[in-house]
Amino acid sequence: MQLVNFWESGILRLGVKREGGILDVAAALSVVPQLAVKAVPATLREVLDGGEAALGSLREFIGALPSPDEGGRAFYRDEASLEFAPCITDPGKIICTRAELPQTCRRNRNAAAGIPDTFQQIFEQPGRTRNGGPASKPGTEG
């Protein structure tokens, strides 16, 4: 099962790639809510936070839906016309790693050991701490 994020009228939507196109999960939930036996995640963040249980309920729901040929066209989108969104739209941390080119490593001290120089940088979401709480300015409480 391939999950995708896409924009529709400025709203982030969760989609599932299927033979008939991209299944819009939120649209399917609004058209046939009775098929959702358990709580079905409507965003990728809900899928990630819910783990295997959320993924299982999404699979069940999708399995119960009619195909586009069987009357399910209302919640399928044409893949070519979609504006895809990033996989993770709210990363708490981004880690970038870079290794030096071999010719640069030869000039550096690690050339003899055959170890490339590696640099890492961690970018955190502005205004948040490592544990997800709000950041406070120095000299203030809270």
Convert the pLDDT of each residue in 40-77 to its tens digit: 898 899 999 999 999 999 999 998 888 777 777 788 89
Together in a domain, 28 and 60: yes
Q: What range defines the domain where residue 68 resides? A: 2-84
Q: Is residue 18 part of a domain?
A: yes
- The torsion defined by the Cα of 137, 45, 90 and 98, in degrees rounded to 10, comes to 110
Domains identified in the chain, total number: 2
In a domain, 120, yes or no: yes
Which pLDDT value is given to residue 15?
Answer: 94
With a CB cutoff of 8 Å and minimum separation 6, the contacts of 14 are 3, 4, 5, 24, 25, 26, 41, 42, 43, 44, 46, 47
> Do residues 60 and 98 both lie within one domain?
no
Q: Are residues 6 and 75 in the same domain?
A: yes
Q: What six digits make up the tokens of 136? A: 């406070």
Identify whether residues 9 and 64 lie together within a single domain.
yes
